[in-house]
Structure 1
């Protein structure tokens, strides 16, 4: 089958090229793509950074669409079902693609806004919270209230944490974070924020610190407020670039470091249908955070804004 796909042909340049998509294998499904999110990794790939291989390449791993065909061994979905995908492929910015049947979950039959069902990042957050094993009454700190941070806040509302603090530099994102009722919400550069940081450190630190800041300064803040003895430190968005840090605190305090990567959980794909159920219940609402949507014929401006973060950019989605 012929399919048009988005290719990165050189750093900061994309083209639409036609590819051949074979019939799905025994355990695969073939998806007609309706929407595909622009991940932070896609933003790097658009710039020619952290590529899985030489340019040119297709990108995309956050798709939602309609099942077109299924392999003989697939039993969880059928042609015509509406689904979102998580894991199994990095070439989903294509009109059609094949992926393992265990990488998809059904979404409501009446779905028309497929951009609202770009849910692979939500699966990553569900996985993060599962492997971190937050306990009732834990003191939790979230550093960074961007797209992934806000998704995490949605999930944390369902956890019986004792105290939840959010640190975020941007005022617009602080305002969004406050909608999810954290105990405290500060800019770390404000006088109130600085005082709160000192209080957390003086009281022994937080049981769990989740860092979505992806900067040296955010890491330093997260490291300062982690529990002095056996705290849990989640590296949420440090995954596609270099960082520098002093590991003394980690070693001397027995801090356990957790990784957001799907590869951190051998049963990551079990989280896909669970995440679908949580979205249907309203625990998560990823569509609320989508700020920029464009047809695949006019996708380049969205990729540019994924870098510059201008025009209130939070999350971009490409439609097909």
Structure 2
């Protein structure tokens, strides 16, 4: 069936164009998109960076909506159910999306705040913490407290066995937000105070776990500096292009390196319902981190929001594209 979708047609240019949505086959679900989160990958795709192929192409992989049709064999949802989707498609900025049934999880019938129902990034964070396996009393260092870093901080402070939690973040507004989570220390890594703390961590042998959400060369270098011998380094950021590290430090330091990517977990879709259980319990509050919303047909504002997502201006933390 035909549906309108957001197409990147050239760098920094996006248009609404028709898109062919496949009818659901066996074990597949089609849902009417109500909202779709704007991921940092979408920001790169908007610039035709790390694209799946030449433009034009449709973007989006953080969809939520209402089930329109189900294929044979689907038992977990039915037409009319409200769902979030966290896997199975990278073309969700479309009025309709078709995915495998295990890629969607049912939401409450009274769900109306669709921007807050964007949960795919939260599933990535749960996958990260589940894979990293923070042990009782571990000293955890978080480099970068943007959207994904702050959500990770929610999990660390409310739902983990972490002992000392140290956060390094360059931006003052994000440091202030991070300080609202009890039990963590927050520093500017470029300040004198921050540099002293970095030296202190290194002098004591390093942290048990270092999680990199800096999304920058300097953040990656800091993360590589802070893990202890036999410690853990978890790459939360998608570093596009080449990054350098000290192979001797990794080898002789005995570090174990983990990756947030869903592709690191053969059972990633198991994280979806588990993540939602944690949200219901109040461990995570992804909706509170959404700073911008925009309708997919508002081309002027859409361009503004994409630029805010790239430059991190206007207090940007997270945007959601609305289809309702």
User: TM-score surpassing 0.5?
Assistant: yes
Whole-Å separation in 2 of the counterparts to 1:7 and 1:73: 32
Q: Which 5+ residue runs of structure 1 have no aligned equivalent? A: none
Native 8 Å contact 2:36 2:64 kept in 1: yes
Distance in 2 (alpha carbons) for counterparts of 1:183 and 1:316: 26
Residue deviations 1:86-127, cap 9 Å, x none?
111000000001011000111121111111011111000000
CA deviations on 1:32-74 (whole Å, 9 max, x unpaired) are 0000011111000000000111211000000111111111111
In structure 1, the residue matched to 2:254 is 254
Match of 1:48 in 2: 48
Task: Give the Å deviation of 1:181.
Answer: 1.7
Aligned position for 1:314: 317
Structure 1 residue 183 displacement after superposition:
2.8
C-alpha deviation, 1:135, in angstroms: 0.4
Aligned to 1:301: 304
Which runs of structure 2 are paired with 1:132-143 in the superposition (5 Å)?
132-143=132-143
Note the alpha carbon deviations across 1:180-212, whole angstroms, 9 max, x for none: 124311101122211111111111110000000
Does the 8 Å CA contact 1:41/1:240 hold for their aligned counterparts?
Answer: no
Q: How many residues align?
A: 319
In 2, the alpha carbon distance for the partners of 1:50 and 1:252 equals 33
Q: Counterparts of 1:65 and 1:241 in 2: how far apart (Å)?
A: 34
Distance 1:316 1:214, change over 3 A: same
Residue 134 (structure 1) shift: 0.8
Map of 1:69 onto structure 2: 69
Name the residue aligned to 2:198.
Answer: 197
Q: In 2, distance between residues paired with 1:26 and 1:71?
A: 5
SS in 2 for 1:234: strand
Superposed CA offset, 1:132-179 (max 9, x none): 111001110000000000000011121121100000011100000011
Q: List 4+ stretches of structure 1 deviating above 4 A.
A: none
Map 1:141-290 → 2, pairs under 5 A:
141-157=141-157, 158-227=159-228, 229-290=229-290
TM-score, normalised by the number of residues in structure 1: 0.98
SS in 1 for 2:230: coil
SS in 1 for 2:297: helix
How far is 1:240 from its partner? 2.9
SS in 1 for 2:60: coil
- Distance (Å, rounded) in 2 between the aligned partners of 1:118 and 1:240: 24
- C-alpha change, 1:241 and 1:117, in structure 2 (3 Å) is farther
Alpha-carbon deviation of 1:248? 2.0
Name the residue aligned to 1:91. 91
> Are 2:224 and 2:245, in contact at CA under 8 Å, matched by a contact in 1?
no
Q: Is the 8 A contact 2:216 2:239 kept in 1?
A: no
1:15-42 deviations in Å (ceiling 9; x for gaps): 1011232321111100100000111110
TM-score (norm 2): 0.96
Where do 5+ consecutive residues of structure 2 fail to align? none
